[in-house]
């Protein structure tokens, strides 16, 4: 049992773990008045769309780490699919969008009881129910091992279904995605006045939650915060296509959407400049872990320069008469300045746009096995980053 102090003024800046803890908060003793003020501030400041994504992404990571089905021989009783966390998360998702907390089910009680028995047997916190522990657990419960495990797996299936049902309910209710953007029955709706970049963040959340973004023009908006713009435009091609579908991309990055029907002046490219750009982003999205490119991607601490330079690498093709990498770098600098992006990020993106043809040119025209070729390219790049 631990403790922490939380002030009313802290509510808007809470980390995900603290938000989740306060979602389950109960008054145990003391005055109601400060507790009510704290919880009112908590609910007023809860970023619902962001919180939902945090919980869902957390579940995906745990499913990938342990198991994504409850129908498994050696289940993880807390974090695996059908573990206790599935029930917790279904409750958190419902509460975040205005639902009431639900009472633990009989299936939850069964999984919790057997987890507690496993802890007692192991003499420590142990949530993976291995084959070697299953017989001991069944003996302590006075049950036949095979039957006990089958009943446990069915109980875990119930908890996993509760989590899946909570995900489905997100498509049936109404909640705020970001300032000026709501989800209503599985669709995105814009309302009132909001900053352009906040609306873009809302569309990003909606896309990642699997909500529908209709081909309806968003109302005219202005106001861009650099971090919000960067976060949104680095969220993948699906987000970009939805931003384009509702007109937000044109307001955010008109330099790209004006290239929608622009034909490339070479025989290498198959698509228009706009579509080619989105295909490049899709390629980055699709890089698989464990591959050569996957290892390179995982080694990049900040993917923002990669995604932003991919978005902007061919913007210069709209301006004829000069090498497009030169005009593209100038356009990228103007865009990033307009967004108020931090200087080091802007410099790296502009550099990548300016020299994005250098490596393919060297590969085509030089002997890549020659050490002098590597030195020549290193002189262009200058730093390992």
How far is 72 from 67, CA to CA, in rounded Å?
8
Please give the tally of structural domains in the chain.
Answer: 4
Q: Is residue 365 part of a domain?
A: no
In this structure, are 19 and 95 located in the same domain?
A: no
| Residue that terminates a domain, selected from 169, 199, 226 | 169
| Residue that terminates a domain, selected from 235, 252, 269 | 252
Q: Does residue 375 have a pLDDT over 80?
A: no
How far is 156 from 178, CA to CA, in rounded Å?
34
Give Cα 75 to chain centroid, integer Å. Answer: 26
pLDDT tens figures, 269-327: 789 999 999 999 999 999 998 899 999 888 888 999 999 999 999 999 999 888 898 99
State the pLDDT at residue 352: 92
In this structure, are 71 and 16 located in the same domain?
A: no
pLDDT band at 5 (very low <50, low <70, confident <90, very high): confident
Q: How far is CA 257 from CA 191, 291, 384, in A?
A: 24, 32, 33
Q: Is residue 362 part of a domain?
A: no
| Residue that terminates a domain, selected from 119, 144, 169 | 169
In the DSSP assignment, the letter for residue 311 is H
Chain mean pLDDT for the chain:
90
Q: Is residue 162 part of a domain?
A: yes
* DSSP 3-state of 216: coil
Q: Is residue 51 part of a domain?
A: no
Whether residue 233 contacts residue 240, with contact meaning beta carbons closer than 8 Å, is answered with: yes
Is the model more confident about 101 or about 83?
Answer: 83
Within the chain, strands assigned E span 174-178, 181-184, 187-190
| CATH number of the domain bearing residue 108 | 1.20.120.330
Q: How many CB atoms are closer than 10 A to CB 208?
A: 18
In this structure, are 64 and 163 located in the same domain?
A: yes
Q: Does residue 4 have a pLDDT over 80?
A: no
State the pLDDT at residue 366: 64
Q: Is residue 384 part of a domain?
A: no
Q: Is residue 278 part of a domain?
A: yes
Q: Is residue 124 part of a domain?
A: yes
In this structure, are 267 and 320 located in the same domain?
A: yes
pTM: 0.83
Q: At residue 335, what are phi and psi to the nearest 5 degrees? A: -65, -50
In this structure, are 265 and 338 located in the same domain?
A: yes
Closest to 351 in 3D by CA, of 325, 376, 377 = 325
State the pLDDT at residue 70: 97
Q: Which domain holds residue 337?
A: 260-354
């Amino acid at each position: 049992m631990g403790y922490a102090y939380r002030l009313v003024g802290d509510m808007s800046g809470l980390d995900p773990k603290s938000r989740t803890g306060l979602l389950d908060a109960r008054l145990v003793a003391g005055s109601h008045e400060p507790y009510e003020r704290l919880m009112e501030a908590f609910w007023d400041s809860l970023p619902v769309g962001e919180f939902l994504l945090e919980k869902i992404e957390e579940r995906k990571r745990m499913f990938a780490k342990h198991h994504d089905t409850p129908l498994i021989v050696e289940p993880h009783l807390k974090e695996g699919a059908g573990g206790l966390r599935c029930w917790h998360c279904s409750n958190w998702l419902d509460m975040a969008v205005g639902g009431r907390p639900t009472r633990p089910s009989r299936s939850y009680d069964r999984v919790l009881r057997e987890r507690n028995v496993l802890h007692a047997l192991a003499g420590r916190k142990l949530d993976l129910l291995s084959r070697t522990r299953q017989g001991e657990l069944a003996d302590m419960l006075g049950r036949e091992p095979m039957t006990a495990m089958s009943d446990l797996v069915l109980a875990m299936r119930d908890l996993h279904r509760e989590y899946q049902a909570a995900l489905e309910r997100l498509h049936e209710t109404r909640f705020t995605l970001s300032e000026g953007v709501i989800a209503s029955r599985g669709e995105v709706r814009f309302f009132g006045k909001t900053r352009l970049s906040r609306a873009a963040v809302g569309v990003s959340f909606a896309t990642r939650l699997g909500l529908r973004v209709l081909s309806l023009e968003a109302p005219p908006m202005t106001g861009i915060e650099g971090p919000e713009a960067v976060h949104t435009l680095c969220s993948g091609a699906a987000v970009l296509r939805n931003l384009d579908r509702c007109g937000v991309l044109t307001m955010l990055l008109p330099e790209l959407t004006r290239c929608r029907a622009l034909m490339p002046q070479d025989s290498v490219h198959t698509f228009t400049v706009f579509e080619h750009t989105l295909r490049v982003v899709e390629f980055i999205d699709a890089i698989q872990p464990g591959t050569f490119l996957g290892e390179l991607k995982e080694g990049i601490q900040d993917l923002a320069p990669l995604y932003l330079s991919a978005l902007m690498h061919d913007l210069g093709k709209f301006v004829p008469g000069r090498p497009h990498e030169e005009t593209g770098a100038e356009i990228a600098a103007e865009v990033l300045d307009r967004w108020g992006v931090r200087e080091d990020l802007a410099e790296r993106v502009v550099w990548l746009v300016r020299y994005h043809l250098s490596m393919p040119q060297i590969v085509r025209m030089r002997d890549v096995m020659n050490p002098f070729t590597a030195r020549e390219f290193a002189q262009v790049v200058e730093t390992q980053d």
